[in-house]
């Protein structure tokens, strides 16, 4: 994967990550040999199919011991093969001690994204994780002083699984124009172009992604803080997620979720249409390239 080439420094993290890739790949093969689908495994674990895809694609931080035991039982893996896969998972957990602990509410959001039927998101000053380019991610990690970049980058890249699961959620996101100018570390032409072109590629590739830009000229009272609403099929409660400097919160209260929906609808109606938003991004790329002054050392 490209981030090994970009980072290249942390050999311990790289080896641990390769073991996780190996575990995910072998669990996928074992499931297929047992003639099971990801949905079959998900039902046995009592989770959504998206979690199984994250395990097999190695875009989750680790595989819990209890979950692993259920998967191994279901795939009828015994003896030395079972011991070897269990050891792979165990070494991965030890290798991830340097990973940053995330707030509980944020972990819940990550676990639920791929199982949602619809995601409505608003972002004022930054690009959300599922839509970030690798360049944008790496710049954020550098500014945050992240030492063990590999697991953090893998986690962030793994959020894009919402576009590739069997039944992807409808992901409707409204981005403030400000988020395309407020780049990590300051606005640079290279980062603006890289991120804008990444958004355009995502829009062209994933039909369940609906992206809108809220321009500075939009007729709204003020820009709300970031929030995300996840909707689910069946009895699972919809929830609203919000984070700020003080806390991260999830609310399943119907009044809160309904209020967030109303706010999102207001932003959605004031934003450019999806087609006009793509044109906005294309123009942003063209204008940025036209005014690009190359540094003397490039």
Distance between CA 105 and CA 155 in Å, rounded? 16
Is the pLDDT higher at 71 or at 153? 71
Calculate mean pLDDT across residues 59-70: 77
pLDDT at 12: 43
> Above 70 in pLDDT, residue 64?
yes
Distance between CA 28 and CA 12 in Å, rounded? 25
Give me the residue spans of the domains in the chain: 2-95, 104-290
Instruction: Supply the CATH classification number for the domain 104-290.
Output: 3.30.870
Distance between CA 127 and CA 199 in Å, rounded? 10
Distance between CA 268 and CA 175 in Å, rounded? 10
The percentage of residues in the chain with a pLDDT greater than 90, rounded to a whole number, is: 51
pLDDT at 17: 61
State residue 231 phi and psi, 5-degree precision.
Answer: -115, 145
Domain 2-95: CATH superfamily is lambda repressor-like DNA-binding domains (1.10.260.40)
| Terminal-to-terminal C-alpha distance of the chain | 26
In tens, the pLDDT along 113-163 reads: 888 999 999 999 999 999 999 999 999 999 988 888 887 887 788 888 889
Distance between CA 156 and CA 60 in Å, rounded? 9
The packing angle between helices 11-33 and 65-74, to 10°, is 30
Enter the tokens of residue 258.
């309904």
pLDDT at 23: 85
255: exposed, middle or buried (Cβ count in 10 Å: 0-12, 13-18, 19+): exposed
In tens, the pLDDT along 22-46 reads: 888 889 899 999 999 998 998 888 8
Query: At 80, is the pLDDT very low, low, confident or very high (cuts 50, 70, 90)?
Result: confident
266: exposed, middle or buried (Cβ count in 10 Å: 0-12, 13-18, 19+): middle
pLDDT at 239: 96
> Above 70 in pLDDT, residue 291?
yes
pLDDT at 61: 57
> Above 80 in pLDDT, residue 98?
no
The DSSP H or E segment spanning 172 is strand 170-176
Calculate mean pLDDT across residues 178-196: 95
What ranges in 58-117 are assigned the alpha helix state H?
Answer: 65-74, 79-95, 104-113
Is the pLDDT higher at 55 or at 122? 122
User: Rounded mean pLDDT of the chain?
Assistant: 85
């Amino acid at each position: 994967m490209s981030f090994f080439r970009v980072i290249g420094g942390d050999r311990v993290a790289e080896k641990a990550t390769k073991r996780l890739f190996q575990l995910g790949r072998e669990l996928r093969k074992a499931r297929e040999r047992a003639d099971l689908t990801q949905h079959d495994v998900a039902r046995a674990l009592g989770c959504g199919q998206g979690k199984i895809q994250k395990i097999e694609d190695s875009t989750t931080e680790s595989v819990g011991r209890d979950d692993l035991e259920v998967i191994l039982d279901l795939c009828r893996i015994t003896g030395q093969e079972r011991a070897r896969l269990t050891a792979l998972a165990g070494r991965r957990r030890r290798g991830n001690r340097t990973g940053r602990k995330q707030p509980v509410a944020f972990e819940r959001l990550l676990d639920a994204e791929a199982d949602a039927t619809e995601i409505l998101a608003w972002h004022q000053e930054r690009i959300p994780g599922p839509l970030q380019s690798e360049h944008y991610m790496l710049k954020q990690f550098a500014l945050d002083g992240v030492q063990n970049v590999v697991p953090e980058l893998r986690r962030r890249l793994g959020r894009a699984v919402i576009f590739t699961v069997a039944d992807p959620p409808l992901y409707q996101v409204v981005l403030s124009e400000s988020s395309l100018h407020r780049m990590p570390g300051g606005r640079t032409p290279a980062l603006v172009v890289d991120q804008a072109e990444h958004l355009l590629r995502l829009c062209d590739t994933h039909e369940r992604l609906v992206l809108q830009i809220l321009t500075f000229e939009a007729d709204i009272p003020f820009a709300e803080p970031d929030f995300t609403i996840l909707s689910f099929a069946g009895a699972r409660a919809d929830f609203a997620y919000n984070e700020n400097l003080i806390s991260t919160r999830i609310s399943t209260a119907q009044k809160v979720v309904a209020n967030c929906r109303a706010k999102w609808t207001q932003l959605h109606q004031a934003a450019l249409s999806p087609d006009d938003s793509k044109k906005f991004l294309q123009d942003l790329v063209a204008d940025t390239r036209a005014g690009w002054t190359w540094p003397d050392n490039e």
